[in-house]
Amino acid sequence: MNPLLESLQTFLEAHKFSDYWSEVITTAVGFTLLALLAVLINVLAKRVILNVVHVVVKRTRFTWDDQLQETGVFTRLSHLAPAIVINTFGPSVLGNEPLLSAVVHGIVTIYLICIWLGVLFALLNGIQIAIEKRKARKGVPVKGFVQAIKLTAVVVGVIFILAVVLNKSPVLLFSGLGAVTAVLLLVFKDAILGFVAGIQISANDMVRVGDWIEMPKAGADGDVIDVALTTVKVQNWDKTITTIPAYSLISDSFRNWRGMSDSGGRRIKRSIFFDISSIGFANPEQLERWSKIGHVREHLDRKRQEIAADNEKLGDEANVLGNGRRLTNIGTFRAYCLNYLKTHPSVDTGKTLLVRQLQPTPHGLPLEIYCFANNTAWAVYEGIQADIFDHLFAVAKVFDLEVYQQPSGADFSDSLSALSTARRDVE
């Protein structure tokens, strides 16, 4: 026992207090002094030490210590001070009360475990914020890793707390944990699946915050706003939120548009259907008219020379329409489209650029435009695509091509009216 408390007990016994009451009063006074000392140390740690730490952190050139302060690492460390005081002076104060001393020691030990868990959580939060703020790792789903470490720490902490409460060795509890593994797998199947999937998603960098993903099965089509250990939140384009279990991203397929965003180009792949009856050989008048168009002038000059050289070998037979080579309006228009796209300021010419014919269909001959816009923003991309096809639809008439459009009721009505008028004229 502390000499001061021994003197108090001796004083009480000298003034006719019984041994029992002398011991009770001495223990109560010692416990009160210990509690007051713990409170005083706690206040000192928070008011003085934390203020000094705050000043030091603000003056350093590093940023990681600012993150630790924001997440409360130093504040939580200050809570260790009263526990250390009680553990240090507790045995000398409560030495005569082994049961009370054991209870206080157990409570302080549990308190220390909780404080260390809190410090670890704050430290992990600070690391997470620091990583997410770095440009090189921006969007990387470190939250899943952090939550996995937290979950593991909580399990270990609970085992140590149970060891203190039951007065058993933690090793014994850890060895007995394997016996209930099968039961835990059945009861917490979904949580375990989500836990494992969350680690796989983070480790393989499958989804990041800010990615645009499509998963029709889950009704998700939008930006990822949160990647947690067991769930992934997606804000759809209509501003609704879809929460997807992490294991669904492992077991089912989904589309991630990150590659498109990182490449800086967004694909345009659309066809124009032409009425096959409007396709034909070009006559001299058409060629003369088209040669004034800058996008096909060079193409026409080169093709004319090639065709003239080939047809010269055929002699007079080349004048027959089915013999020899001739330019067509659809081929000239295809060359026009290709040169138009190459000179378009919003088309990325460093990526695949094609203008090709597809297999004819009942709706006509498809001419597919395949290129990449140099802006991936949705609204800008749609504007670029619309501008390109506005122009191509309008310029097709210059090449005497008819864009196919399925007849509507108005077309049939006009035809019937014309037929009726013709009949009346005949009659």
Residue 362 belongs to a domain with what CATH number?
A: 3.30.70.100
Residue 148 C-alpha from the chain's centroid: 18
Rounded Cα–Cα distance for residues 199 and 398 (Å)? 59
227 and 97 both lie in a single domain: no
Is residue 44 located within the same domain as residue 68?
yes
The counts of H helices and E strands in the chain are 18, 8
**Which residue, 87, 120, 138, sits at the end of a domain?**
138
Residues 21 and 106 in one domain: yes
Does any domain span residue 182? no
Are residues 332 and 259 part of one domain?
no
273 shares a domain with 230: no
Both tokens of 77, joined, read 């460390």
Residues 256 and 270 in one domain: no
pLDDT for residue 258 = 87
Give ∠ CA 257-260-261 in degrees, rounded to 5: 90
Q: Are residues 25 and 128 in the same domain?
A: yes
In a domain, 287, yes or no: no
Co-location of 119 and 212 in the same domain: no
Cα–Cα nearest to 153, from 117, 110, 192: 117
**pLDDT at 364 (0 to 100):** 93
For residues 386 and 368, what is the distance between their CA atoms, to the nearest angstrom? 15
**Which domain, by its residues, includes 103?**
3-138
Query: How many Cβ atoms are within 10 Å of 107's Cβ, its own excluded?
Result: 13
pLDDT digits (tens), the chain, 427 positions? 555 555 555 555 555 565 556 555 656 666 676 677 777 777 777 777 667 777 776 777 766 667 777 777 777 777 777 777 776 766 666 555 567 667 777 887 888 888 888 888 888 888 887 777 765 555 556 776 777 788 788 888 888 888 888 887 777 776 666 656 666 666 667 667 777 787 777 777 788 888 899 999 989 999 999 887 778 899 999 999 999 988 888 888 899 988 888 888 899 999 999 999 999 998 989 999 999 999 999 999 998 888 788 767 666 666 666 667 788 999 999 999 999 999 999 999 999 999 999 999 999 999 999 999 999 888 999 999 999 999 999 999 999 999 998 876 666 565 566 666 656 665 5
- The number of distinct structural domains making up the chain is 3
